[in-house]
A and B are shown apart, each in its own frame.
Chain A
């Protein structure tokens, strides 16, 4: 048994009553690379944030090199030698390499000014020691992503890191940069630094890691030597979430007419040639891991981002250029992933939010807002969607619960009587009861003849609500599963596996 650097026992954590981690145990050995895998929402980020001092744990113990470790804040974690290499880097792209290396503890002169000379010399030494291919004065933002990451790694080593946590480090790297990163990780390991490596790319996990831990539903499923795992076994461990959710049983019919069709859609390097068609009354799920390009696809379909190539067909009319106004004209509605920033005017009243989408139906003959009609309509929407609000004219939406906020987002679109719905994670941050109500809303819209694209990271809700599920991976549709063949393992395989 090699010596254990970090020992984690029985950690639990819940957020506003929802339990995210239920008694997690694992250990990290000195100089090893430990892979951490799990579906979206398995609790990986929460666990890492607890180790990094971002949130406190509810119960459990952590021991770092034999001593109790209880980080109050991220600074304590850094001080004890734990460093995070984030997906989006923690660096200042407008500052130079040197300034980034020393940020937070600039050497200063007797007068209190920054001692630039000393800083530059020290930076040069570090640059040499870590063989960074940069000049100390280079502005960080002008460097390629891979080099920026190297700077971040060097910075954590300067702070004497003993444990480096990599969270999806390769998402923005080129193939070459990825190879360089792997070489660096191998060197770090040689130096006795321990690494926790989180990734969805199983191939990389198999290549890099000494051991692999599977996390599912806030529990450690198993930890074993990499050589004891096969890819199939790994996937088997990641799925198997219990189907506990209850879904509304509403009879509906899928009609012949296609309302929404995507033809060879491309957008930057995030959406690569995506085609599909959705019929009236049909709910089509879209599963995929973070960064698979689902959100980007949704935004392109609704004209929020331009279509680089391809066409969107709505109600048999083809468009190669779109904007939200045009989509609304075609009877489309878009529930974005981030209702706080893109769905609602948080500081405005429920009524004002319900009135956001063009209300041509609520104008009087002179084109002026008919207040009485608006009030009647708002009351109808509030009753219909069962939005819990006492005084919709004055109560602002930021005072509502997540579920009620999401219902207001649905409500603002119902004025338009949408026939094409694009839903991006519509149940994110919503409690179980409200989820069920949102599923009913979606079912009822489909029953009324709407075509629904339902993007979600929760396999079980997709399996419970959809007629078929498309899986996206790396900007492409990697597979499609029809209702009779729904199977968690099959879906996850499609989301994870490399085709080659």
Chain B
């Protein structure tokens, strides 16, 4: 009962999964399920990062721009740069660049929020636009086409090519496990929740509020960098449009999962369920021949759901 009350989305996910298994043609095939999992890997990684920011009552719009810039810069290093000839050098360099871009964007966001006292909504919107613009400019400078192909074969392992399909899943689960551990077991996690509920109380209790916020933004950026690696490897090209449709799905996963946008309650376990649910839903609707725009309507409806269910739950049981 507590589990269900805590995660109103869990029974819904299970129900929709079972329904899809029974009634949606081709859903239950190994090939499709594998696809679902692969697609959810990068979504889970970004959503975990975003969960930290949302727990603080903030938002990070810039994650998808990290995907864009990371993808083109990483692809450039692996396919076009002087390093490209030796994959043993170019792949690690590209990976470092992708995570590094995330780290840098996160630092800028953190600085803007903490020092310039900008709301994260505004600060990350600005970095999103700037970094996205940079990505498109960079891509058009280094290559005539909109995407950079010719990446080394070894890199595709990270995208789950062929028999390596567990690799991205393991990366995603590791990111998830680390996030969960950070939130539930470490002082940092306690600080995230405290600052998210009431930064003033946190400050007076001696919690370094500003440092905590910078760390959140950096984590979100770095996770976006890791997701960028996996998404680029899966698509096998570097392109600035990599994360175009991803942002809505990411924020939807976090919110549908049950992390409150007002900060301080929720966590990555909820986000995991949110990610799985949205992935299954998207996939099933897709198999049923329903277009992307219809799934958007459904996901929109789902975002309202936690509010409705918590309203109902509160009506019945005022303690939680």
Contact = CB atoms under 8 A, between A and B. Distances in A.
A356 B186 contact: no
Contacts of B185: 368-369, 371
Interface in A299-316: 302, 304
Contact of A357 (B193, B205, B264): B205
A359 interface: yes
Given A347-B265, A363-B187, A342 B204 contact: yes
A347 B197 contact: yes
Contacts of A342: 200-201, 204
B201 A347 contact: no
Interface in A335-367: 336, 341-348, 352, 355-359, 363, 367
Nearest to A324: B206
Given A348-B197, A368-B185, A399-B319, A343 B204 contact: yes
B207 interface: yes
A304 B206 CA distance: 10
The binding surface of chain B is classed by DSSP as helix
Contacts of B193: 345, 348, 352
Nearest to B181: A368
B198 A345 contact: yes
A304 B197 CA distance: 18
Interface string B28-52: 0000000000000000000000000
A328 B204 CA distance: 9
B206 A352 contact: no
Interface residues of B, number: 20
Contacts of B265: 347
A486 interface: no
B103 interface: no
Contacts of B207: 325, 356, 358
Contacts of B291: none
Given A325-B208, A341-B198, A345-B197, A304 B187 contact: no
Contacts of B202: 356
B203 interface: yes
B275 interface: no
A422 B165 CA distance: 59
A411 to B, nearest CB: 12
Given A325-B208, A328-B206, A352 B201 contact: no
Contact of A369 (B190, B194, B206): B190
Nearest to A344: B201
A327 B207 CA distance: 12
Contacts of B186: 367-369
A297 to B, nearest CB: 15
A347 B201 CA distance: 12
B201 A345 contact: yes
A343 B203 CA distance: 10
A216 interface: no
A166 interface: no
Given A356-B194, A368-B185, A304 B264 contact: no
A267 interface: no
Contacts of B264: 345, 347-348
Interface string B99-136: 00000000000000000000000000000000000000
B205 A356 contact: yes
Contacts of A343: 201, 204
Interface in B275-320: 319
Nearest to A336: B204
A294 interface: no
B201 A324 contact: no
A358 B201 contact: no
A342 B201 CA distance: 4
Given A342-B204, A356-B190, A369-B190, 18 more contacts: A304-B204, A325-B208, A327-B206, A334-B204, A343-B204, A345-B193, A345-B194, A345-B197, A345-B198, A346-B198, A347-B264, A348-B193, A356-B194, A358-B207, A367-B187, A368-B185, A369-B187, A412-B205
5 contacts: A325-B208, A334-B204, A343-B201, A343-B204, A363-B187
